[in-house]
């Protein structure tokens, strides 16, 4: 029988919903001679989190490793494959490999360096508004490039404005990513690369501790790993639509946890109301019993 992750959501309630079984560790545990972290350990547990980074995390509402675990991406970038220029759609962010065919500085409303590039499938334009003399000298015709950027419609076809560029003439091409790149909600002083590194470090620490030690189900921890680091082959459109099975399970768990909380609160109110009615009944009859006893004594 497939394990369900919802069980842990019905137990201990915290920031963003219930996530742990009763007795989930709030301190460091020891497995033999090895110390493992707990969900409630502060983010300063992570190497690289000093006071300034902790302040940035606090602005995001994050203070513990559990908070980091449930700080999920807003969206994803696919840097796992090369997309031919002819297949790039308007607004699509892709990795491309091209060769520079022409380069010139254009003077209009804004000065820009315009590169005409091509691959086996077609042509495109790269436009850089901020560039140095040294960069201009490096970006010469005939030089191969790998880029990442969002394709836009231009007068001469598809255009990329300020794409990330890597030269490919220095030997073997760098390996492509083996997972989709998550883009997280962030704040000033905490760039995507650094935030991603720290969140994944927190995930690795908690995975090392193990789901059972943390009071989580294996399914929940696996789903969170999947959403933080989706492997090659994960459908980007499905993730962006919120229809990935891991997203659906988490959404169901949160909805169930919310409903259970409402039911528990309603039951508590009803219990308190019944308790008040019973107390009032006892108080009323106690007073009247005393009065009746006094009247009978007087008679």
Rounded to the nearest integer, the mean pLDDT of the chain is: 81
| Highest mean pLDDT pick, 16-20, 188-192, 270-274 | 188-192
Q: What is the pLDDT of residue 23?
A: 40
Mean pLDDT of 259-286: 58
Residue 297 reports pLDDT greater than 60:
no
Q: What is the pLDDT of residue 37?
A: 80
- Report, in this order, helix, strand and coil percent for the chain, each rounded to 5: 40, 25, 35
Q: What is the pLDDT of residue 25?
A: 44
Q: In the chain, what percentage of residues exceed pLDDT 70?
A: 73
> How do residues 10-37 score in pLDDT, each as one tens digit?
222 333 333 444 344 444 444 444 456 8
Tokens of 143: 């030089």
Q: What is the pLDDT of residue 55?
A: 96
SS3 category, 239: helix
Q: What is the pLDDT of residue 71?
A: 96
Domain with CATH 2.40.50.140 in the chain: 85-167
pTM of the model: 0.70
The CATH T-level fold of domain 85-167 is OB fold (Dihydrolipoamide Acetyltransferase, E2P) (2.40.50)
Q: What is the pLDDT of residue 115?
A: 96
Residue 180 reports pLDDT greater than 70:
yes
> How do residues 199-246 score in pLDDT, each as one tens digit?
999 999 999 999 999 988 899 999 999 999 999 999 999 998 999 999
Check: CB of residue 126 under 8 Å from CB of residue 146.
no
Q: What is the pLDDT of residue 109?
A: 84
Q: At what angle are helices 218-228 and 192-209 packed, to 10 degrees?
A: 160
> How do residues 41-100 score in pLDDT, each as one tens digit?
999 999 999 999 999 999 999 999 999 999 999 999 999 999 999 999 999 999 999 999
Residue 1 reports pLDDT greater than 60:
no
Among 73-82, 137-146, 272-281, whose mean pLDDT is lowest?
A: 272-281
Q: Which helix (H) or strand (E) holds 145?
A: strand 144-154
| Highest mean pLDDT pick, 113-122, 166-175, 245-254, 262-271 | 113-122
CA–CA dist 27, 11 (Å, integer): 18
């Amino acid at each position: 029988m497939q394990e369900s992750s919802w069980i842990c959501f019905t137990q201990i309630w915290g920031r963003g919903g219930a996530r742990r079984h009763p007795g989930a560790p709030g301190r460091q545990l020891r497995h033999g001679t090895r110390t493992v972290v707990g969900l409630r350990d502060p983010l300063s547990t992570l190497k690289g989190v000093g006071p300034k980074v902790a302040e940035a995390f606090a602005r995001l509402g994050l203070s513990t490793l559990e908070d980091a675990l449930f700080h999920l991406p807003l969206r994803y970038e696919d840097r796992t494959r090369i997309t031919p220029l002819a297949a790039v759609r308007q607004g699509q962010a892709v990795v491309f490999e091209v060769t520079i065919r022409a380069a010139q500085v254009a003077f209009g409303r804004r000065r820009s360096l315009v590169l005409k590039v091509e691959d086996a499938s077609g042509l495109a334009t790269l436009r850089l508004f901020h560039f140095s003399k040294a960069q201009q000298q490096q970006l010469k015709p005939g030089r191969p490039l790998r880029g990442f950027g969002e394709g836009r419609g231009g007068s001469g076809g598809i255009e990329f404005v300020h794409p990330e560029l890597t030269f490919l003439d220095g030997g073997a091409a760098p390996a492509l990513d083996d997972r989709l790149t998550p883009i997280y909600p962030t704040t000033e002083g905490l760039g995507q690369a650094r935030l991603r590194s720290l969140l994944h470090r927190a995930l690795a620490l908690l995975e090392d501790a193990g789901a059972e030690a943390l009071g989580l189900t294996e399914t929940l921890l696996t789903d969170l790993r999947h959403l933080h680091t989706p492997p090659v082959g994960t459908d980007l459109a499905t993730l962006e639509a919120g229809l990935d099975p891991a997203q659906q399970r988490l959404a169901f768990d949160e909805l169930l946890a919310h409903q259970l909380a409402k039911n528990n609160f309603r039951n508590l109110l009803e219990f308190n109301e019944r308790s008040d009615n019973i107390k009032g009944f006892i108080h009323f009859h106690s007073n009247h019993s005393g009065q009746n006893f006094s009247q009978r004594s007087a008679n």
